[in-house]
Amino acid sequence: MASLRAAARLRPIATRLSQSSVQPQRFYASAAAAVKSSPSTGGEQPFFPDEPAGPVIKTAIPGPESKKAVAELDKVFDTRSLNMLADYQKSFGNYIADPDGNVLLDVYAQIASIPVGYSNPTLHKAALSEQMASALINRPALGNFPSNDWASILKTGILKVAPKGLDQVFTAMAGSDANETAYKAAFMWRRQHERGGAHVEFSEEDIVSSMLNQAPGAPQLSILSFKTAFHGRLFGSLSTTRSKPIHKLDIPAFDWPQATFPLLKYPLEENTEENKRVEAEALADVERLIETHHLPPCAVVVEPIQSEGGDNHASPAFFQGLRTLTKKHNVLFIVDEVQTGVGATGKFWAHEHWNLDSPPDMVTFSKKAQTAGYYFGNPELRPNKPYRQFNTWMGDPARAILFRAIIEEIERLDLVSHTARVGDYLYNGIAELAKKYPGEFNNLRGKGQGTFIAFDSPRRDEFLKKAKSVGVNIGGSGANAVRLRPMLIFQKHHTDILLEAMEKIVKS
Amino acid sequence: MASLRAAARLRPIATRLSQSSVQPQRFYASAAAAVKSSPSTGGEQPFFPDEPAGPVIKTAIPGPESKKAVAELDKVFDTRSLNMLADYQKSFGNYIADPDGNVLLDVYAQIASIPVGYSNPTLHKAALSEQMASALINRPALGNFPSNDWASILKTGILKVAPKGLDQVFTAMAGSDANETAYKAAFMWRRQHERGGAHVEFSEEDIVSSMLNQAPGAPQLSILSFKTAFHGRLFGSLSTTRSKPIHKLDIPAFDWPQATFPLLKYPLEENTEENKRVEAEALADVERLIETHHLPPCAVVVEPIQSEGGDNHASPAFFQGLRTLTKKHNVLFIVDEVQTGVGATGKFWAHEHWNLDSPPDMVTFSKKAQTAGYYFGNPELRPNKPYRQFNTWMGDPARAILFRAIIEEIERLDLVSHTARVGDYLYNGIAELAKKYPGEFNNLRGKGQGTFIAFDSPRRDEFLKKAKSVGVNIGGSGANAVRLRPMLIFQKHHTDILLEAMEKIVKS
């Protein structure tokens, strides 16, 4: 039944577009044709034949319907960060629709959080299952009353894709609390070591001072993060976030250390020595802070690619160095894969690119997983007593079931290696544009990192704005970066549309 | 279609019980009969005629099936805080089922977070709707790309039940981040005042120091909370939580102030003067801390009834005093209704019991709402620039749709006033038990607060354990309290079962 319904649901966009009385303005005639005639996609089969053939722009964005709706929404919900009002029931695959009938190719994908396309039929079926309904309406306090199918949901979902060497998970709700619970695990681990092991009881002084928010019970320890890092916006995670002042202003923060992140020079092949030096200096800075900071770090947290901070990359050697350093100093190594995880870099987890000798101690995830948490392997990272790492919901089985369906879809379409391939195609296409339009596509980065690609634009905000008018939804990061975050179902024919659009933007 | 399916789904429990080849042990013959013959419920109509007639205990808990499943789960997920494995697809109404065929009357309700019963048909229908499916699989970054139905989902749901005077909402995921985002709003509001208004730009010093986690950009300000309070377990919320050492040990905390919470003596009517004095002292303590703490509080946060901390109540006069004090000192008043909200106290929001002259500045919510956030009214609580209060998901439309269905169900069955009535019946029943068994039901509290009732037990943990063996799932709070948190669909005939069970426990 659900699948019939799903099938019925998938038709509206195509039908609506072709029956529309106003002929929609189609920008990409060749690409539009490509969906139906595979020769012009180089033989590529579209994953979703019912996907719109290309962007459709009917009005300026926001159009009149959107403007009305936004004004209404703003009465009760702050809309000043609103980018575009969407009509998700009409959005499909790589395309996001709005209430004015505009349909954009979406390579921002809800800040990199849509994995397998809007209104994906496999997910739609999972959403309408009885297991999902029960998970939604019978939401458990997972730490106290997990369901009898929770182990199976974990094993066939979240844990099926666990990073190598990490076979345990603590589930959470979003990136911020995934990171913060990982930090909590790190602090508890460190203090347990300082006490002499899991069997050593808390001292009376620990107990009393913890209730007063004072050391030693509330310890004078820290998490070390990097300049321009982003790890979330609650109080602990924000203390490790160093992206932009607007994220941090007026919010009290812990006095935790920040290390230099290597700022690589591009093109990489022309700056090998210089970049090596910059990375060595950054590692030295980490070691210096571990050794000397007045709040000793019990963990180092790092993004495989700094995302909000402007798409800053470092080499596998740098991350190998971090792993070595943290081991040397008995400090935990937390990899924040909230934005990089789940396939977009051409590996399921971006840190697989590093070929580490031993895995990170914890890997945090969210966004494309649609659920969140941290993976770990070392049994010492389970706190020594129950209720130390605990909260009412501890995640959400409904979202874990959805992640399982996402994983199925990724496997069915082999989307990780697909993304590695299409990423190369996209990277090369932008490299061509960069040659053709000098100064417009600077510091192109993300080679060999799937579609996790970015470049600096001399007029970034204008670039993003114009993108909408030519049918593409693109996001930025940091001060100047245009960050591409297509979904995993982004194909060559979508790439052609995107490249054509970007050329239009810089030509205009 | 969904409703047909729902109807089909609702039968299994009753059928299974009556057809079971092993005659299940029924503890409550009279109550079981009550569901079918309304005379013995005092003419009360059951809300869900298909609900189990009473608890069924087939095995010790955990039974053999549960033990096997828990051992399996523990390999990948910490189960040391596990209370009972559940089979939610077989749980219905007030009854939670386990994999061994045991069915318990549940008056703990997932730590007070199930509002209208397991497998509720109205929620089941909402869960299987196309709007829900789209919300689940097309999860937006709400601050950037809200759906065109988001305003309507808010207005017909979350905002339909907004506390009087508070017509805005910032949505979140759970209680902890609801509180932390409210705290962030408070800090931004305070610094904006200190700067001279929303139009005044951040100074260069603010900007630079914020990125270093230093004052003035990361200000030396605080949130004032109360001893034995619970407001969540992430870094900011945990700094205001003062419930138990096990919640706080080894986690760094902000040096924020805690005020005395009035510890009332029971019975209230015999301790009027003493309790008045205790409340006056607590208010004086708040004022002293506001005036003298080295990190000036920009907000006071308080639970209407301290829940995790042991079900500690205070009088409306105390909360009126807090409102007056906070106004006097230009400090915000945040009411944490995460556990008390959504009907259980016989009002939709517990702070309605206080008859305040002016509303709290913010009211946070989660749990029974199945979504989360903070309500506010003052436009100054919208930060002066976009992206200051922001994160990727900013809540979850799927859960907001569910809350709307919960509200519909509450209205359909008039559950708030129902809970006020059944709460009185429950309270009086326990008062009778307290007389009959001196020393067993101490400091009974929650009179006139719906079913939000607790008492101290001399052998609390044993009491809770025994409850399962007589067919009831009950929770504790603080060191000695038995806390009752039935769902809003808890009726007189359930009350009779609960009272009979509690008598059995203390008699055994």
**How big is the CA angle at B269 (ends B266 and B271), to the nearest 5 degrees?**
60
Token readout for A137 is 């309406």
Active site residue A106: no
pLDDT of residue B163: 98
Rounded to the nearest angstrom, the minimum Cα separation between A198 and chain B is 13
Pick from A11, A124, A213 the residue to mutate for testing the B interface (most B CBs within 10 Å): A213
User: Is the model more confident about B81 or about A14?
Assistant: B81
Within an 8 Å CB–CB cutoff, is residue B200 touching chain A? no
| pTM, full prediction | 0.93
Q: Which of A75, A127, A180 sits opposite B235 (nearest CB)?
A: A180
- Give the separation between CA A191 and CA A380, rounded to whole angstroms: 12
CB contact under 8 A, B136 and A132: yes
Within an 8 Å CB–CB cutoff, is residue B67 touching chain A? no
Q: How far is CA B67 from the centre of its chain?
A: 29
Q: Which CATH architecture has domain B2-117+413-507?
A: Alpha-Beta Complex (3.90)
Nearest alpha-carbon partner for A33 in A496, A498, A507: A496
pLDDT of residue A244: 95
CB contact under 8 A, B206 and A113: no
List chain A domain ranges. 1-106, 141-396
User: Tens of pLDDT along B273-307?
Assistant: 999 999 999 999 999 999 999 999 999 999 999 99
Residue window 8-47, chain A: list those with CB within 8 Å of chain B: 9
End-to-end CA distance of chain B: 49
Helices (H) and strands (E) counted in chain A, each on its own, are 18, 18
Q: Could you count the other beta carbons within 10 Å of the beta carbon of residue B73?
A: 21
- For residue A455, list its beta bridge partners: A482
Token readout for B220 is 């030396």
A141-396: in CATH 1.10.10.10? no
Residue B476 has pLDDT above 70, yes or no: yes
Active site residue A36: no
- In Å, how far are B48, B442, B464, B507 from B458, measured between CA atoms? 36, 8, 12, 13
CB contact under 8 A, B9 and A130: yes
pLDDT of residue A44: 80
pLDDT of residue B43: 65
Mean pLDDT, range B321-331, rounded to an integer: 98
Residues of B that are catalytic? 230, 336, 367, 392
Which residues in chain B touch residue A213, judged by CB atoms under 8 angstroms apart?
239, 248, 253-256
CB contact under 8 A, A254 and B213: yes
- Give the separation between CA B233 and CA B225, rounded to whole angstroms: 14
CB contact under 8 A, A141 and B176: no
Residue B13 has pLDDT above 70, yes or no: no
Residue window 270-309, chain A: list those with CB within 8 Å of chain B: none
Nearest alpha-carbon partner for B354 in B308, B406, B403, B302: B302
Pick from A122, A250, A367 the residue to mutate for testing the B interface (most B CBs within 10 Å): A250
User: Quick one: fold of B140-197+209-339+359-395?
Assistant: Aspartate Aminotransferase; domain 2 (3.40.640)
pLDDT of residue B44: 80
CB contact under 8 A, B141 and A111: yes
Residue-wise DSSP of A275-336: HHHHHHHHHHHHHHHHHH-SS-EEEEEE-SEETTTT-EE--HHHHHHHHHHHHHTT-EEEEE
pLDDT of residue A3: 40
Token readout for B198 is 């929303």
Nearest alpha-carbon partner for A218 in B280, B332, B241, B400: B241
Residue window 96-135, chain B: list those with CB within 8 Å of chain A: 96, 98-99, 110-111, 113-114, 118-120, 123-124, 126-128, 130-135
Phi then psi dihedrals of residue A258, to 5 deg: -125, 130
Contact A502, A459 (CB under 8 A): no
Calculate the dihedral angle through the C-alpha atoms of A56, A58, A62, A68, rounding to the nearest 10 degrees.
-130
Which residues in chain A touch residue B75, judged by CB atoms under 8 angstroms apart?
151
Active site residue A230: yes
pLDDT of residue A424: 98
Rounded to the nearest angstrom, the minimum Cα separation between A115 and chain B is 10
pLDDT of residue B2: 39
**How big is the CA angle at B195 (ends B189 and B199), to the nearest 5 degrees?**
80
Mean pLDDT, range B318-344, rounded to an integer: 98
In single-letter form, the type of residue at position B398 comes to: A
Average pLDDT, chain B: 92
Burial of A124 (0-12, 13-18, 19+ CB in 10 A): buried
pLDDT of residue A43: 65
Q: Which residues are CB-neighbours of B490 under 8 A, at least 6 positions away?
A: B94, B107, B419, B422, B426, B451
Token readout for B85 is 């494995």
Please give the residue of chain A at the shortest CA–CA distance from B162. Answer: A76
Contact B375, B389 (CB under 8 A): no
**H helical segments located in A350-414:** 397-412
The interface predicted TM-score (ipTM) is: 0.93
In total, the C-beta contacts within 8 angstroms joining chain A to chain B are: 399
Which residues in chain B touch residue A77, judged by CB atoms under 8 angstroms apart?
146, 150-151, 154, 168-171
β strands within A425-491, DSSP E: 442-445, 453-456, 472-473, 475-477, 481-484
Q: Which of A85, A173, A251 sits opposite B146 (nearest CB)?
A: A85
Q: Which residues are CB-neighbours of B242 under 8 A, at least 6 positions away?
A: A211, B225, B226, B227, B228, B229, B230, B248, B258, B309
Nearest alpha-carbon partner for A156 in B72, B118, B81, B140: B72
User: Tens of pLDDT along B38-76?
Assistant: 444 456 899 999 999 999 999 999 999 999 999 999 999
Mean pLDDT, range B425-441, rounded to an integer: 98
pLDDT of residue B39: 40
Residue B154 has pLDDT above 80, yes or no: yes
Rounded to the nearest angstrom, the minimum Cα separation between A295 and chain B is 10
- In Å, how far are A189, A225, A232, A410 from A193, measured between CA atoms? 6, 22, 27, 40
Mean pLDDT, range B324-330, rounded to an integer: 98
Within an 8 Å CB–CB cutoff, is residue B384 touching chain A? no
Q: Which helix or strand (DSSP H or E) is residue B370 part of?
A: none
Within an 8 Å CB–CB cutoff, is residue A86 touching chain B? yes
Q: Which residues of chain A have pLDDT under 70?
A: 1-43
Within an 8 Å CB–CB cutoff, is residue B234 touching chain A? yes
- Give the separation between CA B476 and CA B484, rounded to whole angstroms: 8
